[in-house]
A and B are shown apart, each in its own frame.
Chain A
Amino acid sequence: MFGLVGRVVRNPAQAEEVTQEVFVELWRTASRFDPARGAARSWIMTCAHRRAVDRVRSAERAARRDDLAGRRDQGRPYDQVAEQVEATLEREQVRRSLDALTDLQREAVVLAYYGGYTHREISELLGVPSGTVKTRLRNGLLRLRDHLEVYR
């Protein structure tokens, strides 16, 4: 969870703050967790991801515009992710599942999930309509789901 937050907010001090917030939030809302509605990990990661995304969108919007522009020159974001996704079994499995996506799907999923960008920002970045981005996100995650066999 800390790793995910750190990747999205990209500032170690803020990542710690957000992680702390998420944890306390989990603590407060634990009684609302319903195992029947999904695994605990999903719940935790969903809370963490959402909180991280909300943080970058509210605090750093202006700065992120520049960052967004800069990213085009930095090569594919997927490469940066792949580099850090280590070869543990779990990570390897996720990495292989990401490989199973088309390049366009993977790009959208990685920008949205690891980058924390909205579909509009992604459509701006890639120069495609935002409806296309939504479709790529959905088809990409559907394929990921099938590969990872998560049906809960």
Chain B
Amino acid sequence: MSADPHLLTGAYAADALTGIERLAFERHLDACLPCAAEARQLRAAAARLGAAVATPPPAALWGRVRAEVATTDQVPPVAGPVGRRFPSLLAAAAALLAAAAALLVVAFSVTALGLGLVGGPRRSERVADPVAAVLAAPDARRVAARAGGVGQAEVVVSRQRGRAAFVASGLAPAPAARTYQLWVVDRSGPRPAGLVEVPKGGRVTRLLEGRVAGSEQVALTVERRGGAARPTSEPVVVIDLRA
């Protein structure tokens, strides 16, 4: 490629480069931050062109996707019955396929697939499954925490399912002999909603235990290992689902 590579961001974003040119330009992107940023923005702009012509896929296609995904072994080993696991995974996936329909849900389905479902064998199947169900629920609503000391945190709540999931990134590990604990706070006070283990990388997707109607507050506190029956410290995150 003799031409100035900095001018190729547009052709790259529109996929107008040939395979070899694309590879060469991607190598350039690794080394050139301004080009990488511009390419990312132009790809986002191009994606809007794609979304503008979105149409729902035929129902039969969905059946084939479902069948193929069911035999795709990228998912961690399943302890429980396979048949019970896939429907809710596919619920998250359905949102992906209908990309134009519910972008918010898509964003979180992808996150769910990334963080919770393909995250590794350590994650409990019982937790991963309903998380996907909440994230992919048609009425899924996300409520972000106001800026605080702990990276980004939000709660995705589905009133329809009566469940909510806590999603965070950049969460620092809890101090030694301590653990994060989630609380759902309603008029009758706080009730424990589960302990949060922070994996390396600080990204957490955790289903809140118990039913959540969507009108409560969700709080995260630091407690002694094993958790507490009532919060004993000031919350590090408070997310008001009424907001």
Report which A residues bind B (CB closer than 8 A).
1-4, 6-7, 16, 19-20, 23-24, 26-28, 30-46, 48-50, 53-54, 57, 81, 84-85, 90-91, 94-95, 97-98, 109, 112-114, 116-120, 122, 131, 133-142, 144-145, 148, 150-152
Q: Known contacts A43-B110, A113-B15: does B97 contact A1 (CB below 8 Å)?
A: yes
Closest 9 CB pairs of A and B: A138-B10, A30-B113, A137-B10, A45-B47, A3-B55, A94-B52, A112-B14, A112-B16, A45-B50
Known: A3-B50, A137-B10. 8 other contacts (CB 8 A): A30-B118, A40-B109, A45-B50, A46-B47, A131-B3, A137-B13, A141-B46, A144-B42
Q: Known contacts A38-B43, A118-B16: does B53 contact A4 (CB below 8 Å)?
A: yes
Taking CB atoms, residues of chain A closer than 8 Å to B48 are 90, 94, 97, 144, 148, 150
Chain A nearest Cβ from B240, distance in angstroms = 23
Asked whether any CB of chain A lies closer than 8 Å to the CB of B242, the reply is no
Do residues A42 and B3 form an inter-chain contact, with CB atoms below 8 A? no
Do residues A84 and B53 form an inter-chain contact, with CB atoms below 8 A? yes
B:68-127 near A, CB below 8 Å: 68-69, 72, 74, 93, 96-97, 99-100, 103, 106-107, 109-111, 113-114, 117-119
Do residues B111 and A141 form an inter-chain contact, with CB atoms below 8 A? no
- Complex alpha-carbon distance, A71 and B132, angstroms: 45
Q: Known contacts A140-B10, A141-B46: does B96 contact A95 (CB below 8 Å)?
A: no
B:160-194 near A, CB below 8 Å: 169
Chain B nearest Cβ from A96, distance in angstroms = 11
Chain A nearest Cβ from B212, distance in angstroms = 23
Interface of A is mostly: helix
- Write the chain A residue with the least CB distance to B40: A38
Taking CB atoms, residues of chain B closer than 8 Å to A31 are 113-114, 118-119
- Complex alpha-carbon distance, A20 and B58, angstroms: 11
Asked whether any CB of chain A lies closer than 8 Å to the CB of B44, the reply is yes
Do residues B99 and A41 form an inter-chain contact, with CB atoms below 8 A? yes
Q: Could you show 29 A-B contacts with beta carbons less than 8 Å apart?
A: A2-B61, A4-B50, A6-B55, A16-B64, A26-B96, A26-B110, A27-B113, A41-B47, A41-B106, A42-B47, A45-B46, A46-B46, A49-B46, A49-B47, A90-B100, A95-B52, A109-B14, A109-B49, A112-B15, A113-B15, A114-B53, A131-B7, A135-B7, A135-B10, A137-B10, A137-B11, A137-B13, A148-B48, A151-B41
- Complex alpha-carbon distance, A46 and B239, angstroms: 33
Do residues B110 and A53 form an inter-chain contact, with CB atoms below 8 A? no
Taking CB atoms, residues of chain B closer than 8 Å to A30 are 110, 113-114, 117-118
Asked whether any CB of chain A lies closer than 8 Å to the CB of B24, the reply is no
Taking CB atoms, residues of chain A closer than 8 Å to B72 are 24, 27-28
Taking CB atoms, residues of chain A closer than 8 Å to B43 are 38, 42, 46
Do residues A16 and B45 form an inter-chain contact, with CB atoms below 8 A? no
Chain B nearest Cβ from A89, distance in angstroms = 11
Q: Which listed residue, B7, B44, B47, B110, touches A33 by the CB 8 Å rule?
A: B110
Do residues A133 and B11 form an inter-chain contact, with CB atoms below 8 A? yes
Q: Known contacts A40-B103, A150-B44: does B49 contact A2 (CB below 8 Å)?
A: no
Which of B7, B48, B57, B58 has the most chain A CB atoms closer than 10 A to its own CB?
Answer: B48
